[in-house]
Amino acid sequence: MLSDAGLIGVRDAKRGDQSPVLAYDQADWRGLIHKIKEGTLDPAAS
């Protein structure tokens, strides 16, 4: 979902309304998707 402020909100669908919404700006979202596709995302680094 894209907000009026241009933020992309995501949540864990398994938790439904109990899940917090994480908001990313478009540049961060594109960077995340790029790392996932590249296979360079390191979950241990977060």
Span 6-45, pLDDT tens digits? 899 999 999 988 999 999 999 999 998 999 899 998 777 7
The pLDDT value given to residue 35: 92
For residues 16 and 26, what is the distance between their CA atoms, to the nearest angstrom?
A: 23
DSSP, residue by residue, 4-42 = TTSEEEE--GGGGGGSPPEEEEHHHHHHHHHHHHHT---
Instruction: Note the pLDDT of residue 46.
Output: 59
Q: Is residue 45 part of a domain?
A: no
Domain total for the chain?
Answer: 1
CA angle 10, 17, 2 (to 5 degrees): 30
Give the range of the structural domain holding residue 17, as residue numbers without chain letter: 7-39
Residue 46: inside a domain, yes or no?
no
At 18, list the tokens: 């109990």
